[in-house]
Amino acid sequence: MRQPGGEPPGSARLELVDGVVLLRPEDTVVQAMLRGWEAQQIGGRGLRPSSVRDRLGVVRRFLTYTNEFPWCWTPAYLDEWMVELVSHSGRAKSTIRNYQDAVRSFCNFLIQPEYRWVAECEARFGTHPAQICFEWNTLAHLADYEGKADRRPMTRGELQRFFDHADAQVELAVRRRRKGALAAYRDATLFKVMYAYGLRVREATRLDVTDWYRNPKAPELGRYGNLEVRWGKASRGSPPRRRTVHTVMPWIVEVLDDYLTNVLPRYGFPEHPALWLTERGSRVLPRSIEQRFVDYRIALKLDSALVPHCLRHSHVTHQIEDGVDPKFVQEQVGHRYASTTAIYTGVSGDFMNTMMRNALDKAFQPDRAELR
């Protein structure tokens, strides 16, 4: 939103008073730039204050490292800082990239004509700020997942054992007339939904009953043709990203319909929009689901590296193994980069052997023999 007089939030004319002689002009201008950038990010771009504070902290650290003013920065300063961070502090690639993005964003703000910082610096110091972050001196963002290397999908056998165990806990609680039967049924269904739609834990726990709707191309799925995920993983400082996920595992329809018909009404909160409720009528929290997953994993003596997010990995892997187009899978799970979908994929040895056999069969076809 522009301020009175047509100036956008963060402009030099709003942060510095015309005609006033500054006692320490360099330091005063730098602080005005930082205030202006903060105003531009919060007021102009609508970023979260916590994210803006983090980015400001990065730029202040860079200022301290260079001991130079922004209008004197060059790409060499960034190169030296990156070497320092990587060699001495061992920062993760994602952290390094966030630092670079903060500096790049600050420089972009300073050089945009509408904010008038270039003209201000030219008038006061005879030089001006410039962009110092380029493709050739920053890390390329090829993947939006850079988690632990031992994170893997569950095998189909592990997945079946896990789901069978979850179902068995419901039957056990009902037979023994224990209080936790509803919660066990709820969580067993939630785990299956996470796998069937490739959801993150937070995405799953934020689902509402109305997030499913009909797909005219798949009338046999009834009201469960598509799922609208409204709380997808957000980029840094941005709101959650929405995406539509198509139902590709038809067995989940019966599971969902049974839960909505026979289980959810038993909680006694018919007006609550949430799909997963506690007995007190609040939404289930991710940590509750994570703990339930760990309890089942321990009971089954499964690999300790497995976590709820592995259900999402399993969805991707099993879809690829079943011959689904990788581009479609990428869109389904909301990956911005194809390389991320590849990271999630851990196809089985049987699948790899089948692919090899297919390739060999094509290579040894009679009409190809002449090419050898």
Does residue 33 share a domain with residue 132? yes
- 363 domain-assigned: no
Q: Are 197 and 186 in contact (CB under 8 A)?
A: no
- 7 domain-assigned: no
Instruction: Choose, from 91, 233, 236, 336, the residue flagged as catalytic.
Output: 233
Please choose, from the candidates 134, 129, 133, 131, the residue with its C-alpha nearest in 3D space to the C-alpha of residue 12: 129
Averaged pLDDT for residues 94-106: 90
Distance CA 366, CA 283 (A): 62
Q: At what angle do helices 25-39 and 93-111 cross, to 10 degrees?
A: 110
Residue 210's contacts (CB-CB under 8 Å, 6 or more residues apart) are: 273
Averaged pLDDT for residues 72-88: 86
Does residue 160 share a domain with residue 282? yes
Out of 137, 164, 190, a domain closes at 137
Does residue 275 share a domain with residue 219? yes
359 CB neighbour count, 10 Å cutoff: 10
Residue 120's contacts (CB-CB under 8 Å, 6 or more residues apart) are: 12, 16, 29
Instruction: Choose, from 192, 206, 309, 315, the residue flagged as catalytic.
Output: 309
For the question of residue 200 being annotated catalytic, the response is: yes
Does residue 122 share a domain with residue 185? no
- 354 domain-assigned: no
For the question of residue 24 being annotated catalytic, the response is: no
Q: Are 340 and 200 in contact (CB under 8 A)?
A: no
For the question of residue 148 being annotated catalytic, the response is: no
Long-range contacts of 178-185 (CB under 8 A, 24+ apart): 182/263, 182/266, 182/267, 182/279, 183/278, 183/279, 185/259, 185/263
For the question of residue 267 being annotated catalytic, the response is: no
Distance CA 45, CA 117 (A): 18
Confidence of residue 372 (pLDDT cuts 50, 70, 90): very low
Quick: pLDDT tens for 152-183: 889 999 999 999 999 999 999 888 877 889 99
- 114 domain-assigned: yes
Does residue 222 share a domain with residue 86? no
Distance CA 50, CA 41 (A): 11
Does residue 112 share a domain with residue 169? no
Q: DSSP assignment of 145-199, as one string?
A: ----TT--PPPHHHHHHHHHHHHHHHHHHHHTT-TTHHHHHHHHHHHHHHHHHT-
336 CB neighbour count, 10 Å cutoff: 14
Is residue 361 over pLDDT 70? no
Averaged pLDDT for residues 338-361: 57
Instruction: Choose, from 115, 195, 296, 344, the residue flagged as catalytic.
Output: 344
The proportion of the chain whose per-residue pLDDT surpasses 70, expressed as a percent, equals: 83
Q: DSSP assignment of 11-29, as one string?
A: -HHHHS-TTPPPSSHHHHH
E strands, 65-114, in order: none
Q: What is the pTM of this model?
A: 0.60
Does residue 21 share a domain with residue 163? no
For the question of residue 312 being annotated catalytic, the response is: yes
- 150 domain-assigned: no
Range of the domain at 99: 12-137
Distance CA 56, CA 103 (A): 9
Does residue 67 share a domain with residue 188? no
Does residue 181 share a domain with residue 133? no
Q: Are 310 and 154 in contact (CB under 8 A)?
A: yes
- 288 domain-assigned: yes
Does residue 189 share a domain with residue 236? yes
Structural domains counted in the chain: 2
- 184 domain-assigned: yes
Confidence of residue 142 (pLDDT cuts 50, 70, 90): very low
Is residue 279 over pLDDT 70? yes
Quick: pLDDT tens for 195-237: 999 999 999 999 999 999 999 999 999 999 999 999 888 665 5
Does residue 243 share a domain with residue 321? yes
Quick: pLDDT tens for 10-34: 999 999 877 666 778 999 999 999 9
- 109 domain-assigned: yes
The proportion of the chain whose per-residue pLDDT surpasses 90, expressed as a percent, equals: 60
3-state secondary structure of 91: coil
Instruction: Choose, from 116, 186, 192, 200, the residue flagged as catalytic.
Output: 200
Distance CA 70, CA 105 (A): 13
At 192, which CATH number? 1.10.443.10
Instruction: Choose, from 292, 297, 312, 318, the residue flagged as catalytic.
Output: 312
Does residue 294 share a domain with residue 212? yes
The residue to which tokens 């990995």 are assigned: 313
Distance CA 315, CA 307 (A): 14
Q: Are 70 and 110 in contact (CB under 8 A)?
A: yes
Instruction: Choose, from 116, 206, 292, 335, the residue flagged as catalytic.
Output: 335
For the question of residue 344 being annotated catalytic, the response is: yes
